Amino acid sequence: MAIIKARPFDFTLVPDKTALVVIDMQRDFIEPGGFGATLGNDVTLLEAIIPATARLIDGFRRAGLTVIHTRECHAPDLSDCPPAKLSRGRPSLRIGDPGPMGRILIAGEDGADIVAALYPLPGETVIDKPGKGAFYATPLGEILREKGIAQLVFAGVTTEVCVQTTMREANDRGYECLLATDATESYFPEFKKAAIDMITAQGAIVGWAATVDQIVEALDA
């Protein structure tokens, strides 16, 4: 066990029961020309967390611990994409439309894949999810149970949407959740701050928050 000086109070890390979940670090959200950019967002904000996220992933790999990656994407025929999701917002390109990196957020297309700097190693679990939360319509719960996981460390994008949704799903399922604050980001910095405040409020009502360095130091101890 290792103690991390986290918000709102110390987090006791049990490495052999801990997995890292890296949420949706995909080209469509992070690189110019992808879906995030078509929504009018500044994708450089998300791109900036790649080095910290890489350090976190490397720390888990050195420790021989489970690393799980997720991708938000849909079947080519959009059968798993509700009409309300497909039509929401006012992007210049919608889910399924042809874009610079293939069809937007479609499984198997270049844009839906994970950025090269954070690419999964052979044997690491990659989960394609049709919703915001990584537990919905995926095998994530079964995978975690089979591995005996009780604690989850989270990284990825965006903090207030897919990351927070998955943390809340995990919290409801009894997992202790820790968010790596400099390995997550939003297109709206104020939303990131608000999400972290909500997660850690009322005695870690959803979970804890700590920096990548704090987490990696605990893994290396």
Give this prediction's pTM.
0.97
pLDDT at residue 50 tops 70: yes
Give me the half-sphere count of Cα atoms (radius 13 Å) on the Cβ side of residue 86.
12
Looking at the annotation, which residues are catalytic? 24, 129, 162
Both tokens assigned to 132: 């915001």
**Dmax over Cα atoms in the chain, in whole Å?**
49
Mean pLDDT of all residues in 30-49: 93
Distance of CA 144 to the CA centre of its chain: 16
Q: What angle do CA 117, 121, 124 make, to 5 degrees?
A: 125
Rounded to 5 degrees, what are φ and ψ at 75? -65, 150
User: In terms of DSSP H, where are the helices of the chain?
Assistant: 27-30, 35-38, 44-47, 50-62, 83-87, 140-147, 164-172, 189-204, 212-220
Q: What is the structure's pLDDT at 151?
A: 98
pLDDT at residue 173 tops 80: yes
> Tens digit of pLDDT for each residue in 67-80?
999 999 999 999 99
> Tens digit of pLDDT for each residue in 84-125?
898 876 667 889 999 889 999 999 999 999 999 999 999 999
Q: What is the structure's pLDDT at 86?
A: 87
> Tens digit of pLDDT for each residue in 143-172?
999 999 999 999 999 999 999 999 999 999
Mean pLDDT of all residues in 122-132: 98
